Amino acid sequence: MVKNGGGSMASSLLFFSLFLLFSNSLAYRPGDIVPMSKMGQYHSSRTTWQDVIGRNCPIFAVNREVLAPIEKPVGYTGADPYKISFQVGREKFLVPWLLVINRKSSEVPMLDVHLRYSGTDLLGVTAKVVDMPHHYLEIHPNIRQQFWDPQTWPKHILVRYTWEEQSEIDVPSGFYVLFGSVPTLMEFWNQEYMELELSFGRCEFQDSNTVFAKQLEIMSYWN
């Protein structure tokens, strides 16, 4: 019985170790670059996923703004809207299509990207297209001119990354860890206790050293 229990425990420890290894591979530290890739769509044609260079990616737990380029789509005539989508983080959180060109507005677009995290984990990403703040355009008037000039490519739009920290405390999971394993431990201990009783019951067939060895075997498992 002890050997079977030990094998089960070893399997559980192996699974837990692999889980920790996988979790650590996705973990971030403040200041880490969060990898991101993008895809464009014009007409019915889509590009492949392309990596975004590090200086334009989010920085973990750091609010900031970057000026990101938008390359000219293949076959672009200016008659149809141009959309982009993102995959964010090693978890590849998907940001749905964002209309950035020909969106029927006289304002220069800006991407407002909201990222949620807890501890070292990236929990999710949302994004929307808003108008670029006028005070920014006043400081950088060439952005407006280049954006509306049909001959100037790539275009540049402002991307604002804001981070929201969420609590690391997961009450339901905590109760599960605290109480969920109790039945399993009780069942295992009951089995070992019954085995120990049988060992004592067979004292007339076994010497005291055998029974004592059985006790030590159980105690060494729990230690």
pLDDT in tens, 40-61: 999 889 999 999 999 999 999 9
Note whether 56 and 68 are within 8 A (CB). Answer: yes
Percentage of the chain lying above the pLDDT 90 cut = 52
Closest CA to 112 of 151, 86, 146: 86
Q: What is the pLDDT of residue 177?
A: 45
For the cut 60, the answer to whether the pLDDT of residue 193 exceeds it is no
Least-confidence region, from 20-29, 63-72, 133-142, 195-204: 195-204
Each residue of 133-190: pLDDT tens digit?
999 889 888 999 999 999 999 999 999 999 999 986 655 555 544 455 455 545 554 5
Residue 200, Cβ neighbours under 10 Å: how many? Answer: 12
Percentage of the chain lying above the pLDDT 70 cut = 63
Q: What is the pLDDT of residue 139?
A: 86
Q: What is the mean pLDDT of the chain?
A: 79
Whole-angstrom distance, CA of residue 140 vs CA of residue 145? 10
Distances from the Cα of 108 to the Cαs of 49, 87, 152, 159, in angstroms? 25, 23, 14, 12
Q: What is the pLDDT of residue 10?
A: 54
Q: What is the average pLDDT across 4-11?
A: 55
* pTM greater than the 0.85 cutoff: no
Q: What is the pLDDT of residue 204?
A: 45
CB proximity list for 119: less than 8 A, separation 6 or greater: 168
Query: Which comes out higher in pLDDT, residue 191 or 38?
Result: 38
